[in-house]
Amino acid sequence: MSFAAPLGVGLTSIGEYMDIDIKEEVDAAASIKTLNDNMVEGLAITSFKYLPDTAEKCMSAVTAASYVVTYKDSKDDACYIDNICDLKVKFFDEAHSINIVKKTKKGERELDLKPLIYRFNIEIKDGVPVYDLLLSSGSTDNIKPELVIKAFHEFLGLPEFDDLSLDIMRTDMYTGEPDSLISLGDIGNEH
């Protein structure tokens, strides 16, 4: 068993994938039932698909991931910015670059987030900003949603950012190039 990409502590997801190597063909419905009967609480296998032996492992195939991000507390400073959607246009849509300093295991490096953010949308629900993000993911440029929201907070001039103030749900993972992404769930359905 190998998972497509590790999910950060405290994040939720409705779009996880894993490869399972099996020795002989099994019934998909029976396998889903057996796996779910033995699954930890809160996790459920929703589908099962055979892939050709030539298919790339999901872990190496991931190039992007989508997220829905909101605030755990509606009292967060970002919730009080009336024109946050207009400011998002200046931050993302009109920006040529979004330069940040990213901390890595080897130290710090300057990074332009702009080409690694494939979608950055905001919708206001019950007075609270809800971010819809599609970000570069995988082994090369793995961009966490917290990093993007932190950069946006800094652009807005908000006080110090707390990663724990966010409620982050990964909704899907994709493979391919930014202009032609395919959900990992759709691999094998191209024919």
| pLDDT per position as a tens digit, 108-141 | 888 899 999 999 999 999 888 999 999 999 877 8
CA–CA–CA angle 175, 110, 65 (5° rounding): 20
71 three-state secondary structure: strand
Residue 79 has pLDDT above 50, yes or no: yes
In sequence order, the 6+-apart residues with CB closer than 8 A to the CB of 106 are none
CA nearest 61: which of 5, 99, 111?
A: 5
Helix and strand totals (H; E) in the chain: 4, 10
User: How many whole angstroms separate alpha carbon 144 and alpha carbon 65?
Assistant: 9
Which two tokens mark 4? 């497509």
User: Following CA atoms 127, 128, 132, 137 in sequence, which dihedral angle do they give, to the nearest 10 degrees?
Assistant: 170
Residue 160 has pLDDT above 80, yes or no: no
DSSP 3-64: ESSPPPTT-EES---EE---SS---HHHHHHHHHHTSPTT----------TTSPPHHHH--E
Our count of domains for the chain comes to 1
Q: In this structure, which amino acid lies at residue 19?
A: D
pLDDT band at 188 (very low <50, low <70, confident <90, very high): low
Structural domain boundaries enclosing 157: 1-191
- Average pLDDT along the chain: 87
- The pLDDT assigned to 189 comes to 60
User: How many whole angstroms separate alpha carbon 187 and alpha carbon 38?
Assistant: 26
- The pLDDT assigned to 134 comes to 97
In sequence order, the 6+-apart residues with CB closer than 8 A to the CB of 180 are none
Residue 181 has pLDDT above 90, yes or no: yes
Q: What is the CA radius of gyration of the chain?
A: 19
CA nearest 130: which of 89, 173, 72, 87?
A: 72
